[in-house]
Amino acid sequence: MPEVDLPIARDARSLIPPTLQRTMRRSLSRGPEAGTPAKPLFGVLPFKRFVPQDIHSLLDYANGLTVLGVAMGAAKPACTAGLALGMADLGVSLLTDYRLSLRKIIPIEVHEFIDYAWGLAAIASPFVFGYARRSPLSAIVHVAVGVSTIIGSLFTDYRAQVGVKWSKRRLSEALPLSGAAVGA
């Protein structure tokens, strides 16, 4: 494996434990240990993908926990939306075919599609469920996390760990908009 130089000052490296340094190097590498690159969503890569999959994985968990955390103490519609969004994000993250998941069931390509759908749902929730004025903090956080999820997903170098694949039929059922992309 080619050695990847960590993007931090040399004297600051002494403060980081060696195991964390190795994990960071592996996360920033593009070799086989980083996983298999995902197929482009709808057959197109609109942007250069430079966010490592492991960093995106950590952000997935942070987004889910953030949305859950804001739900506590919010008005009832904001609380319900926050719980649903947070649990959905954490559930998908725990079951996706990437290194930091509990089980590898959901293909990475499906995870990417879910990221975009989840981001749009988080942005729309305060307005659809009417809590934008009653729970402004929850609304702001939901919109901000939704926007950051979409932007982060556009630039993530999605990589599968074990290569979970769904049949074309199952994939077209899960991603109804991608029938042409999967050959259905």
SS (H, E, C) 50-119: CEEHHHHHHHHHHHHHHHHHHHCCCCHHHHHHHHHHHHHHHHHHHHECCCCCCCCCECHHHHHHHHHHHH
Specify the DSSP class assigned to residue 182: T
Residue 160 sits at φ, ψ, to 5 deg, of -85, 150
Tell me the C-alpha distance between 130 and 171, whole Å.
Answer: 33
Tell me the C-alpha distance between 70 and 65, whole Å.
Answer: 9
Considering only the C-alpha atoms of the chain, give the largest distance between any 2 of them, rounded to a whole number of Å. 55
How many Å from the N-terminal Cα to the C-terminal Cα in the chain?
A: 39
3-class secondary-structure state, position 27: helix
User: What pLDDT shows up at residue 46?
Assistant: 62
CA dist list (Å): 112 to 17, 43, 58, 127, 130: 32, 13, 15, 24, 28
41 in Cβ contact with 113 (< 8 Å): yes
Does pTM top 0.85 for this prediction?
A: no
pLDDT: which is higher, 114 or 169 = 114
3-class secondary-structure state, position 160: strand
27 in Cβ contact with 55 (< 8 Å): yes
Each residue's pLDDT tens digit, 39-96? 666 666 666 778 888 889 999 999 999 999 998 878 899 999 999 999 999 999 999 9
pLDDT: which is higher, 19 or 110 = 110
Each residue's pLDDT tens digit, 100-158? 899 999 998 899 999 999 999 999 999 999 999 999 999 999 999 999 999 999 888 88
